[in-house]
Amino acid sequence: MTTPTRWALLLAALAPACAGSDHDTRSPAAPAAAQVLHVALTVSSLDDATAWFEQALSAQPGSLAQLDADTARWGRPVAAARVRTLSLGHERVVLLDPDGPALPGGAKVSNTAAFQHLALVVGDIDARWAAIAPSIDPISPVPQRIPDSNRAAAGIRAAYFRGPDAHALELIHYPQDKGAARWHVDGDRVLGIDHTAIGVADTATSLAFWRDVLGLEVVGESLNEGHEQAQLSGVPGARVHITALRGHAGLGVELLEYLEPGLVPGDAVVHPEGSAHAHTTVAVADLDATVAAVREAESRLGVAVLSQELAPCIACDDDRRAAMVRDPDGHVVQLVQDRR
């Protein structure tokens, strides 16, 4: 590959002071930097999914909460649900289990607007891949190693797969000369979550939401193509424009625009009770102003405010109120007030 690869992008995302240091990639009117707190996944069985995350990914179970049935939070009737918070290193993933049977739906391929994955950093990727193999649906045939010819990312390895309820996940390993120091730990346990990645139809439109409205900062971008990218994503001939964003702390967000073979038609909007639902919680500098900005951008960007009123944040460890919104491709975002 002659262009920068996704792996160089991930390194830049881990060291934002080194990425884009010569110029500011945010718009002049961009709000103060936000923070991505966690990602929530709807599952069909909370107990089964919790057990899988514990056994397969070394997750540590945290708080268990109950959500009442409501309409105001989502803008549509949604059943009551149990909520389990799990820790993966310093990061968290949240599992939602609505009352009643889970509705079907969601992405079956990587090149769709419904696609969203969590990138899980691991020490010994081969051992962890072998350990989880009986309980996953692999997307990548085996972990893919970026070749030595790519000096910026040589030795980084990764693999996509599907876990409970077909949610997409990624294992990624950083060698000793790459990535943050906390990723360099022996053993095959999952060390944390580096980022979440979402399928998008148009990068510029998505940036107008994630950067200009929410306040995340662009820390790198690349055009990925070739054998490794095709094997990693399970998409033959994949040619992907990837843009990495980060806030002042927390997870990164990657925008995946498949230039080739393009996005598979389909709606990313998944009902919260659907087994493929995911939403990302973002703490913003001014919740009221950000919600107003989303409303202003509805016709221009195809975004929407779902909540009829503010409601208690799902899986926050305090009493913050939150609003559910939808990005240009239908990905759901829970907005909360940054407590800095």
Considering only the C-alpha atoms of the chain, give the largest distance between any 2 of them, rounded to a whole number of Å. 54
Q: Which amino acid, one-letter code, is at 52?
A: W
pLDDT at 82: 96
pLDDT at 23: 33
- The two tokens of residue 285 are 């500098």
DSSP helix/strand/coil, 6: helix
Q: Is omega for the bond preceding 261 within 30 degrees of 0, making it cis? A: yes
Q: Which amino acid, one-letter code, is at 65?
A: A
Which secondary-structure segment (H or E) carries 221?
strand 217-225
With contact defined as beta carbons under 8 Å apart, do 164 and 141 qualify? no
Would you mind telling me the total number of residues written for the chain in this entry? Answer: 340
pLDDT at 203: 97
Strand partners, 60: 87
pLDDT at 102: 65
Spatial distance between the Cα atoms of 207 and 285, rounded to a whole number of angstroms: 18
Strand partners, 196: 118, 253
Strand partners, 199: 256
Q: Among residues 214, 224, 211, which one has the least CA distance to residue 256?
A: 224
- Contacts of residue 288, Cβ cutoff 8 Å, sequence gap at least 6: none
Can you list the domains of the chain with their CATH numbers?
Answer: 6-19+106-260 (3.10.180.10)
Q: Among residues 141, 114, 139, which one has the least CA distance to residue 264?
A: 114
Specify the residue for token string 């498949």: 258
With contact defined as beta carbons under 8 Å apart, do 215 and 31 qualify? yes
Render each residue's pLDDT in the chain as its tens digit; 340 residues. Answer: 333 343 344 334 333 322 222 333 444 455 667 999 999 999 999 999 999 999 999 999 999 999 999 999 999 899 999 999 999 999 999 999 999 876 665 567 899 988 999 999 999 999 999 999 999 999 999 998 876 765 556 677 999 999 988 899 999 998 888 777 888 888 888 999 999 999 999 999 999 999 999 999 998 888 788 899 899 999 999 988 989 899 999 999 999 999 999 998 766 666 788 877 899 999 999 999 999 999 999 999 999 999 999 999 999 988 899 999 999 999 999 999 998 7
Q: Give the DSSP letter of residue 154.
A: T
Strand partners, 246: 217, 252
With contact defined as beta carbons under 8 Å apart, do 284 and 338 qualify? yes
